[in-house]
A = this chain, B = another copy of it.
Amino acid sequence: MMTELGVVRRKVKRAERAAVEALGRCGVATVHEAMGRLGLMKPYMRPIYPGALVSGTAVTVLLHPGDNWMMHVAAEQIEPGDIVVAAITAECTDGYFGDLLGTSFMARGAKGLVIDAGVRDVKTLTEMGFPVWSKCISAKGTVKATLGSVNVSVVCAGAAVNPGDAIVADDDGVVVVPAEWAIKTAEAAKAREANEGDKRAKLAAGVLGLDMYKMREPLEKAGLKYVD
């Protein structure tokens, strides 16, 4: 799928719903590991309030610096369970999104917004419980003058996102799972999680990772020296 301007794609093949929900239960760090350590957005993407954890399918928007016209076009393409992923054609910190658009997105069933730019009205958005992951917070308003696109391939905060991809976002950041990998990644993530309870119990009891992961021998081979 190409990145184009002036296009709205209405039919999007979304990642399988149960897999998307399963990914959400695992959280970003686990999903990113299950992906083979790929798909993570840059760490400058931060939630506007702590504690949110969502997963959903991507409706992508491509916007110009200082122009949020296509946000309104994107609203119509939202289906319940979607997360809007907004990319800008160049670096921008403007506040593209506030409580009015937030109200509209919630009414359409969106579970959150991920935007590689700024957001405003964050106090109201927090009260509404509409989570946003953004590069910054800025009251700077935007114009509505130039066409972008909806549901094309975009790069958001360093990650390639196609419409319909699974998005997981929490306090650790935002990860993108390609739609066709959602099911196997969900399985891999669940397997990792199942494994963690036992490890956590051992570590809490004072067992060292050195022993649990059998690291002493490879460390010695690599030449690690203990001195007093």
A→B interface (CB under 8 Å)? 2-11, 27-29, 32-33, 36-40, 42-44, 46, 49-51, 53, 64-67, 69, 71-73, 75-76, 89-95, 98-101, 103-104, 106-108, 118, 120-123, 126, 136-141, 143-147, 153, 155, 158-160, 170-173, 175, 178, 181, 196, 199-200, 203-206, 208-210, 213, 215, 219, 222-228
Contact = CB atoms under 8 A, between A and B. Distances in A.
Ranked nearest first, the 3 interchain pairs of A and B with the lowest CB-CB distance are A65-B66, A43-B138, A145-B145
Contact of A67 (B50, B53, B66): B66
Given A66-B65, A66-B67, A72-B215, A101 B11 contact: no
State how many copies of this chain the complex holds. 6
Given A158-B158, A159-B155, A120 B3 contact: no
Contacts of A89: 37-38, 66, 140
A26 to B, nearest CB: 11
A101 B120 CA distance: 31
A158 B116 CA distance: 11
Given A92-B65, A143-B64, A100 B38 contact: no
Contacts of A101: 203, 209
B99 A210 contact: no
A2 B69 CA distance: 29
B123 A50 contact: yes
A29 B119 CA distance: 10
A69 B143 contact: no
Contact of A37 (B7, B27, B67, B141): B141
Contacts of A44: 136
A64 B205 CA distance: 29
A218 B222 CA distance: 16
A134 to B, nearest CB: 10
Given A43-B91, A65-B65, A73-B224, 17 more contacts: A7-B226, A9-B227, A32-B140, A49-B50, A51-B123, A69-B219, A71-B209, A75-B208, A91-B91, A100-B203, A101-B203, A104-B209, A108-B206, A137-B173, A145-B145, A155-B155, A155-B158
